[in-house]
Amino acid sequence: MVVGLGPGNRDLLAPAALEALKISDVIIGYKTYLDLIEDLTEGKEVISSGMRKEIDRAQLAVDLAQQGRTVSVISSGDPGVYGMAGIVLELAGDSVDVEVVPGVTAATAAAAALGAPLMHDFAVISLSDLLTPWVKIMNRLEAAGLGDFIVVLYNPKSHGRQTHIESAREILLWHKNPETPVGIVRCAKRGLESVVITTLRDMLKEEIDMLTTVIVGNSQTKVENGKMVTPRGYKV
């Protein structure tokens, strides 16, 4: 199984994910995420691996499953959103059954903390260029701006590349108003959550790191009583 842990708070870990962990003999994941569920892994074989070891982790899971073990590979948020589900399915082929257990992804966790910014069409774009050429990311940013999509930015600061968020903002400003509301959520639905609502003009004044999700509104998005809201279009 590839199991989504949700954003961090235990009440947002789905019962199906709990059950998957419960029936597993082996749990494999990145150390930070294993720490989040330490109390659920007692008595099980726990295999912790470092960041950027996704292929090794997925291969090990497939090998162990082929030997008849029940294995859970964990991802934060949803495992099918920049998580482990894809690589596990690719490596497993038809050799073992794989079940993907979904979780609350950072986009919706951050949206809930901000209010209701994702009520209309939105695009999710990761600013990490580890596996995607930067020029493609820039093209997607422009297309999303041109399409007046609400834009959710994952991995806003890539390893060693602090300027991506600055370039992303600049590209979005080609088609979006500088007054467009921007929500910045660090550790959404996790301990130490921080929520800031600012504008496209001022967003770089705020702290943004790898634990942050940034949501840039569309042309209709507004701030109502301290909440970021994109109207669905109902007449009120």
115 binds ligand SAH (CB under 6 A): no
Binding residue count for ligand SAH, defined by CB under 6 A? 25
37 binds ligand SAH (CB under 6 A): no
Beta strands in the chain (DSSP E): 2-4, 26-30, 45-49, 71-75, 100-101, 115-116, 122-126, 150-154, 181-186, 194-199, 212-216, 222-224, 227-229
76 binds ligand SAH (CB under 6 A): yes
With CB under 6 A as the contact rule, the residue among 78, 138, 144, 215 that binds ligand SAH is: 78
Rg, Å, the chain Cα set: 19
82 binds ligand SAH (CB under 6 A): yes
Burial of 55 (0-12, 13-18, 19+ CB in 10 A): exposed
Question: Which residues in the 7-36 window bind ligand SAH by CB under 6 A?
Answer: 7-8
Shortest CB 9 distance to ligand SAH, Å:
9
Shortest CB 212 distance to ligand SAH, Å:
6
Stretch of 43-51, 81-89, 138-146, 169-177 lying at the interface with ligand SAH (CB under 6 A): 81-89
Helix (H, G, I), strand (E, B) or coil at 5: coil
85-121 burial, b if ≥16 CB within 10 A, otherwise e? bbbbeebbeeebebebbbbbbbbbbbbbbbbebbbbe
Stretch of 37-45, 63-71, 105-113, 220-228 lying at the interface with ligand SAH (CB under 6 A): 105-113
Query: Residues interacting with ligand SAH, by CB under 6 A?
Result: 7-8, 75-78, 81-83, 105-106, 109-110, 154-156, 185, 187-190, 210-213
